[in-house]
Structure 1
Amino acid sequence: IGMIHQHFKLVDVFTATENIVLGLEGKFLLDRKAAGAKIKELADKYGFEIDLDKKIYDMSVSEKQTVEIIKILYRGAKILILDEPTAVLTPQETEKLFSVVRKMRADGKAVVIITHKLNEVMEISDRVAILRKGEYVGSVKTSETNEQQLTEMMVGEKVELNINRSEPHDQRVKIEIRNLTCVNKYGVKALDDVSFDIKSGEILGIAGVAGSGQRELLEAVAGLQKCEAGSSIEYKHNDGNVHHLTSKSPREIKELGISLAFVPEDRLGMGLVGNMGMTGNMLIRSYRKGSLPFLDTVTPKNLATDIKERLSVLTPSVSTPVRKLSGGNVQKVLVGREIANAPTVLMTAYAVRGLDINTSYVIYNILNEQKEKGVAVVYVGEDLDVLLELSDRILVLCGGKISGIVDARTATKQQIGALMTKHSEGQNEKN
């Protein structure tokens, strides 16, 4: 039995061959020729493309996944478990993976795929086992079911699987970003000369292979990421006034009268304080409004109670530490707090990652409601089907650069997938 984890277990400074044979009992010295011959045999048999001498840190996500799968097969695994294998793959890479899975099935391997993408379940599986709240609900043959039935089994009730996307309205440029460049903690450019606009009354989706600069982009706008010289981030008020946000802190942005909401990827590490209850986490947003040494605790408690009721947050009380809540309820608390401040710009990073399908659609509906109020919404996501259905425009990042900005109503998954893996010169938006 072998498992390919969602977060790969590879040594970055080792080559593909070294990672594949690492941990195997045998001779003290590695017989590279013999190992290479066996790996090549597996690659030819299942259709893998792999450079055995390439270092892991130089590989794409898809290449790293290939190394993980070959590592398991090299050890003679008959049963393979893949945890969310397509979460960070392009459509083209996903199809390659499915081709390999089909060949493994034909070779007599048992393959278990853990996923929340129902369209992929219908495409690749023979049987589906459904879990709900950690309990086994039942199994069905894929040929005898559909996405709606699977959803109802997952949630326990009927769920509407449509995202009602309204037309953009009252569009004005709220944030103008020009020549944005950011360097990560390793001294490598995470964003390189990025230019585009964020507009009110629309949802701007952001797509890209993991690590393409999505996190740094949102954090730069939110005042949490240092920008290099020459970068420009401007906030445009409806009355024509302009404020420069480049390298300003979140507190300084707030003091300018700008209501900017940010739902980060790390919900409990960066978004909320896990040991605090809902009330305490509401207070974090508002405590500076009071007159020290006195704090207004009534308003945060009322807000927490309102969010609990309005978003159906399952918690014993608003004082229960949020770390004890499920991922979906934690996300409801975080999103509810951010939109409570009537933001003009709302930025979300992987807002539905790890959530059940019912909660996911609650979040999609909240984003659409904000858009209809004229809020400029930025949605970083990894499910291209959702990005195409939810967004008005989709900005695609590749290696820290913009490879394209497309109309979500006319774009295809294949088009976006191609942009996710290839730079296109001159695609940065200039107006």
Structure 2
Amino acid sequence: MTTGHPRPSTVVAEADAAQREAIYRIRHDVYAVELGQHPVNTAGRLTDRLDDVNRYLVALRDGEVAAFVSITPPGPLGYSVDKYFERPEMPLDLDGGTYEIRLLTVLEQHRDTDLAATLMVAAYRWIEARGGRTVVAIGRDEVTPMYVRGGMRRTGLTTTSGAVTFELMHADVAEVRAAFDALEPVVAAIERAVDWRLHVPLRKPAACFHGGVSFEAVGVGLDDLGRHRDVVNADVLDAWFPPAPAVLDALHDELPWLLRTSPPVDCAGLVAAVATARGLDPACVLPGAGSSDLIFRALPRWLDRSSRVVLLDPTYGEYAHVLEKVVGCRVERLPLERSDDYRPDLAALVDLVASGPDLVVLVNPNSPTGQVLTVDEVDLLLRAAPPSTRVWVDETYVDFVGQTVEPLIRRHDHLVVCKSMSKAYALSGARVAYLAAAAH
């Protein structure tokens, strides 16, 4: 990768239908006419069977395609490298977490720019954001050093097509991330010079930790709790109003006894109260010390590194933290568009759910967007999901919208509803939450 800057007129985005058509014509001009890798055809366009699943990222200059790169996700169609190499000879496993970067192409008049490096960064970020584990590519001799600087490993396996020699390369996404961290000046240059319109941010978002920072301001020793009056608590969204007066009265009257007495071991009273209030069978209620406790206990038990999980993006950050940092599974994100007021594309979400991930996480209402899927829409998703796909609906904020999907557990064994008393009941410090699901 060079460190020159793309001109500020550069736009990086995912290709739309018209831009894909332009790409097919450019592919013919470059790979059939210029490089002789394919026969010239009268239609003047070049496609292949992987275009049914390929995603194209483009660099635009003055609204026209100046460069592009293709990403092939894991799936039954395989990868383009399968055309050139037998899998037993490849020093890597092409599994469900492998993405292929291919067809990195820059139009001749733009080949003295950093568009190739910019699109490689875009492709890596696109793959990383979708939970990819490994990246595979075949790179032309002249661009191999750029691939290597981006974290790719050479294999020594080469193939020739037309006038071009390619080498098979691969990397773990973690290796690519380490290379990116070492290429901060390049990323900073792209950030300054490019109008970045991908749904995936150029920089990987910082890990979202739930609370804690505000207590550093109060004082971790808690020797002066009154300091909280001077602290704006912005690292976690707690209630802005006090608990119900009856709760405060009960705590005040019985606080000495509560502090010196061991709690019940099975929370039977809480389970019974929840079941009565919600109209649930007590066997369908599992209490926990806050929703975070339930998230950290349930998800690592259900999932492992081979699991695939669907998240909305953006959503409550603790899910990504547990899934990616604790479990280490593959996370596939459905981007929420500002132009759509961050409302999920229901058809796209149905398709993702129907594809059979191990888990789908829906924060409903979503945090931080506030958008709500109706009970009927969640029911539609549940009917689309295979029985092996758990659907976890986090209803931490549901009391503010007056609906719940809890009754659906009677019809859908794969639904798990996570409820918290932290927000509407202003009981974050009490750490009270529960899961509702069909009894097994």
TM-score (norm 2): 0.24
Greater RCO (CA < 8 Å, at least 6 residues apart): 1
TM-score (norm 1): 0.25
Q: Which has the larger radius of gyration?
A: 2
